[in-house]
Structure 1
Amino acid sequence: MMFAIIVAIVLAAVHQATAHFRIDYPPWRSDTLENQSYSQWTWPCGGVADHIGNRTDWPINGGAVELTLHHPWTYLWVNLGLGSEVTNFNMSLAPELMNVTGRGKFCLDNLHVPMEVENGTQASIQVITSGGGDSGEGSALYNCADITLRTDVKVPNGMCKNDTALSVTMLGQQWEQQSNSSASNGTVTVTVTAASTPTATTNSATGVTAGAVTFVGVVGMACVLAAGLGL
């Protein structure tokens, strides 16, 4: 419920932009950039129905999501819903809100399903972005990827890469609570460098890394937002 409120506040009053994004891994349901039948502005999955694409075997523990981002900066959410025809993406695979600065390949690895599920459970990943910097902010954009959760699979070698230098600020309450005590009431900034393989860090209590990363505590706008919502 609080996640929905945060999304609504952040995205309120923003207008439509031309840049979009794609899900590279796991493969998205359909190419909503090339196929004119779909629109990434359509909730919840860019107008693409269930069963359009293939399902990808995806690790219950240690999964990854790789995106191509086209905005100079992007608000980003990564959600999960269980079932073969998901209507409620009620779990977060990453912090509630990230602010990614930079264009190009961006990958989150070491993602974990936040509840116990059986091997073979069908699910869908929903990625929501809202970007800006070219000609103002953009409206919310949606894409989905269908997966089957497995205990015995890993992310394919070489699949999760960051091909540009990116700056990522974690704005979610979860990260505020789990960040270093020296950054009390702050957010967490992640500096992502181009890496051939993803590198886990010792400070990954939430189970999320982004290529080779360094965590630095900073005070961010999420503090003000959280205080206003009474979080």
Structure 2
Amino acid sequence: MQVAVVILLFTLSCSVSAHFQLMYPEWRADSFTTPGALQWIWPCANINTTSGTNRTLWPTKGGSLMLNDSHPDALTFVNLGLGNEVTSFNVSLLSHFNQTGNGTLCLQSLGGEALAELAPANGMNASIQVVTINPEGNALYNCADITFSDDASLLSTGPGGSCHNATGVSGMYIGNLATTSTNGSDASTTSESASSSSSAGAGGAVHAPAAAALMIGVVGIGAFVGL
């Protein structure tokens, strides 16, 4: 009986520590403490749409995203669904992004090309779904409800800015083997193109390329995330 209790407590402690926090846009609710919330439940950690009580204004041409991940590395995907009560997150804003290091990661601008094609109207409601997949193959989910706004701005970078990476945290887009990486303390000016992949270290913010254009190299995902 005591052994079973120890195993249960260990399992619970591991599951709590292996979560991530969606910091911006503001998540629907705290999926660490909200009753019934479980981050491994698709599509939004068992947390329903907030029906307008907790919506972040987000730029119509692409916006910022910031999260805090407890995993040392994880594949990160960001999807979008339109409407007040989203049932399908069928628009890809970010795909195959390899986050490395524990702590805060900020993507200063993502979704530009997808939203250019979608052309969301000012005032349109939508929901953003963030998915992380850890080296063990477990998927975790968090969602944020947004309202597209022509007046909304990106999070600021640089000294004193709100968009930054924690020390030791970086990321890279997994593209085909012909792509190159742009390294530096601030990769926020990386252009969105099918032929580019980029990384950013601590203090830098990442500008995401077109998610739909990314392809996994033949070396496989395991080479990037230690699967």
The TM-score with structure 2 as length reference comes to: 0.71
Matches within 5 A, 1:11-50: 18=15, 19-50=18-49
User: Does the CA-based 8 Å contact 2:173-2:199 persist in structure 1?
Assistant: no
Distance in 1, matches of 2:25 and 2:207, equals: 25
Match of 1:78 in 2: 78
Aligned 1:143-222 pairs, distance under 5 A: 143-157=142-156, 158-171=161-174, 175-176=175-176, 184=178, 186=179, 189=181, 191=183, 193=185, 200-205=188-193, 211-212=204-205, 222=216
SS at match of 1:160: coil
Structure 1's 97 and 166: CA in aligned 2 closer, same or farther, altered over 3 A? Answer: same
Q: Which moved more, 1:206-215 or 1:79-88?
A: 206-215
Matching residue's letter, 1:128: V
Greater Rg over alpha carbons, structure: 2
- Separation in structure 2 between the aligned mates of residue 68 and residue 146 of structure 1, nearest angstrom: 18
Q: Which of 119, 122, 126 is the equivalent residue of 2:122?
A: 119
Per-residue CA distance 1:172-213 (angstroms, 9 max, x = gap): xxx54xxxxxx52x5x656574xxxx6532544379986356
CA deviation after TM superposition for structure 1 residue 22, in Å: 0.8
- Kindly state the Cα deviation for residue 61 of structure 1 after the two structures are TM-superposed: 1.9
2:218 and 2:190 map into 1 onto residues whose CA distance is 28
Note if contact 2:172-2:199 (Cα within 8 Å) is conserved in structure 1.
no
What TM-score comes out, normalization by structure 1 length? 0.69
CA distance in 2, matches of 1:68, 1:205: 27
Partner SS state of residue 143, structure 1 = strand
AA aligned opposite 1:168: G
Report the equivalent of 2:108: 109
Gapped runs of 5+ residues in structure 2? 1-11, 209-214, 221-227
Unaligned runs of 5+ in 1: 1-15, 177-182, 216-220, 227-231
Whether contact under 8 Å (2:108, 2:155) holds in the other structure is no
Which of residues 129, 138, 141 in structure 1 aligns to 2:132?
129
> Does the CA-based 8 Å contact 1:166-1:192 persist in structure 2?
no
